[in-house]
Amino acid sequence: MRLLEWQAKKLLFEWGLPVPKGAVLKRPAQLAQAVRKAGGFPVILKVQVYAGGRGKAGGIQKVANLAKGKTIAKDLLAKRLVTPQTGPEGVAVKSLLVEQGLTILKEFYVSVLIDRSRQMPVIVAAREGGMAIEELAKEHPEEILTTPFDPFLGLLSHQARRIVGWLGIPTEHREAATRQLVKLAKGFFSTDATLVEVNPWALTKELGMTALDGKITVDDNALYRYPALEKIKTADADTPSEAKSRVIGINYVGLNGTIGCMVNGAGLAMATMDLIKLHGGDPANFLDVGGGANAAQVREAFKLILADKNVKAVLVNIFGGIMKCDVIAQGIIEAAKSMRIKVPLVVRLEGTNVDAGRKMLKDSGLGFLTAGDMDEAAKKVVQAAKN
């Protein structure tokens, strides 16, 4: 799960990295109090959303007095922020971080993550802060330094010191910066993070080396170790449909198309989406019902898919291995009966007990469109969504 900036900064502060003073607000009326916590004007207002590219989209504003601040806060909280990462529909802004305005002398970049090809944790540092690291990697790879380190020993002081020297941080700030990097790496492990990114990690006049922004992604598979985070995730880290899917125990990701998909297995689910696109359609979602789905989960999955009003047709693609096709067919029939599904439903079953499953669908009289293979199924559902 991804943390919002203010949640990430709270952790960074606990780990021992300086962050600007500040407070979070959800209503413009809370501004005066938040400004006091931030130490008075000028302050920075920052929208709290999961997408990057907030600054260029107008989601970060400097404010010098209360009257203007309230207008801007009201405006930001009413808005759907559109950045290159959100898609054209944007994301709703639910809260703002109000922060002490600092004098920035120089900006750097630092992150900790697991390098999948090295199979080791690495700390990535860059001499240029504030821009997306993938862009910098393309344009100026020589400005980036990647240092692998041992997960049991953590980042060693001399490794951190070398990074700090390479970055060119002024001498009087080097030891503090070194300690911050060691703490950052330690924090990465203490939260089962998959990414901790401080961008910019800035030298400020007021606080020395400071985390001006923070992005932390925690491994979903490790959330059971952090009950407090698990609550946040279900409450607001996902879209409502994604949160619901977690409760039901299936994997769901909402997309912008018109063809709902229900598939067993993540790889097959992605391949099914790709196939729909290949035949000229647009998938409305990724949905993996899992290897051992039962009739109740199939019904809940249909509910999730059909809650999306853009859905014009649904494709069910099941390769029954351990999950038997007749059991799945039963689940589909029960769901279709109890929910009165109004959009066309294309069902492709293959695998264990496939003949029994296909016969049940045919005999149900519910008008399912069936297909012998996934190619035919995708073509049929694309056609059905157009009608």
Partner 1 sequence: MAILLDKNTKVLVQGITGKAGSFHASQMLSYGTQVVGGVTPGRGGTRWEGLPIFDTVAEAVAATQATATAIFVPAASGAEAILEAAEAGLSLIVVITEGIPVQDMLKVKTFLGARINPGTQLPVIIGPNCPGLITPGQAKIGIMPGYIHKPGPVGLVSRSGTLTYEAVWQLTQLGLGQSTCIGIGGDPLPGTGFVEVLERFEADPETKAVVLIGEIGGSAEEEAAAFIKKKLSKPVVAFVAGATAPKEKRMGHAGAVIAQGQGTHESKIKALKAAGAAVADNPAVIGRTLAQTLQKLQVQV
Q: Which residues are catalytic?
A: 109, 197
Residue recorded with tokens 């809650």 = 307
Give the separation between CA 370 and CA 250, rounded to whole angstroms: 24
Tell me how far, at minimum, the Cβ of 199 lies from partner 1, in Å. 11
- Interaction between residue 151 and partner 1 (CB under 8 A): yes
Cβ atoms of residues 123 and 181 within 8 Å: yes
- Interaction between residue 322 and partner 1 (CB under 8 A): yes
> Which tokens in the block code for residue 217?
């992604």
Q: Determine the interface stretch with partner 1 among 58-66, 145-153, 154-162, 203-211 (rule: CB under 8 A).
A: 145-153
Q: Determine the interface stretch with partner 1 among 31-39, 60-68, 157-165, 367-375 (rule: CB under 8 A).
A: 367-375
- Interaction between residue 82 and partner 1 (CB under 8 A): no
Residue selected from 60, 104, 122, 137 as contacting partner 1 according to rule CB under 8 A? 137
Tell me how far, at minimum, the Cβ of 327 lies from partner 1, in Å. 14
Residue selected from 67, 88, 134, 171 as contacting partner 1 according to rule CB under 8 A? 134
Q: Which is nearer to partner 1, 8 or 275 (CB)?
A: 275
To the nearest 10°, the Cα dihedral for 85, 88, 91, 97?
60
Burial class (CB in 10 A: 0-12, 13-18, 19+), 279: middle
- Helix or strand run (H / E) with residue 210: strand 208-211
- Helix or strand run (H / E) with residue 33: helix 31-37
- Three-point CA angle 98, 56, 143, nearest 5°: 100
Cβ atoms of residues 261 and 287 within 8 Å: yes
Q: Determine the interface stretch with partner 1 among 99-107, 165-173, 206-214, 345-353 (rule: CB under 8 A).
A: 345-353
Residue selected from 88, 171, 221, 235 as contacting partner 1 according to rule CB under 8 A? 221
Tell me how far, at minimum, the Cβ of 359 lies from partner 1, in Å. 19
Cβ atoms of residues 351 and 320 within 8 Å: yes
Nearest to 100 by CA among 170, 30, 204: 204
Nearest to 130 by CA among 145, 109, 110, 112: 109
Q: Which is nearer to partner 1, 99 or 197 (CB)?
A: 197
Give the separation between CA 288 and CA 79, rounded to whole angstroms: 33
Q: Which is nearer to partner 1, 116 or 342 (CB)?
A: 116
Residue selected from 255, 295, 343, 356 as contacting partner 1 according to rule CB under 8 A? 255
Residue selected from 119, 142, 172, 228 as contacting partner 1 according to rule CB under 8 A? 119
Tell me how far, at minimum, the Cβ of 126 lies from partner 1, in Å. 12
Of 258-287, binders to partner 1 (CB under 8 A) are: 263-278, 283, 286
Tell me how far, at minimum, the Cβ of 304 lies from partner 1, in Å. 14
Cβ atoms of residues 362 and 326 within 8 Å: no
Give the separation between CA 179 and CA 161, rounded to whole angstroms: 9
Tell me how far, at minimum, the Cβ of 32 lies from partner 1, in Å. 36
Give the separation between CA 117 and CA 150, rounded to whole angstroms: 15
Cβ atoms of residues 251 and 288 within 8 Å: yes
Residue selected from 131, 195, 207, 232 as contacting partner 1 according to rule CB under 8 A? 195
**How many residues at the interface with partner 1, by CB under 8 A?**
58
Residue recorded with tokens 């999730």 = 304
Q: Determine the interface stretch with partner 1 among 15-23, 110-118, 175-183, 336-344 (rule: CB under 8 A).
A: 110-118
Cβ atoms of residues 299 and 334 within 8 Å: yes
Q: Which is nearer to partner 1, 113 or 207 (CB)?
A: 113
Residue ranges binding partner 1 (CB under 8 A): 85, 114, 116-117, 119-121, 132-134, 137, 150-152, 189, 192, 194-195, 219-222, 224-225, 251, 253, 255, 263-278, 283, 286, 288, 291, 319-322, 350-352, 373-375, 378
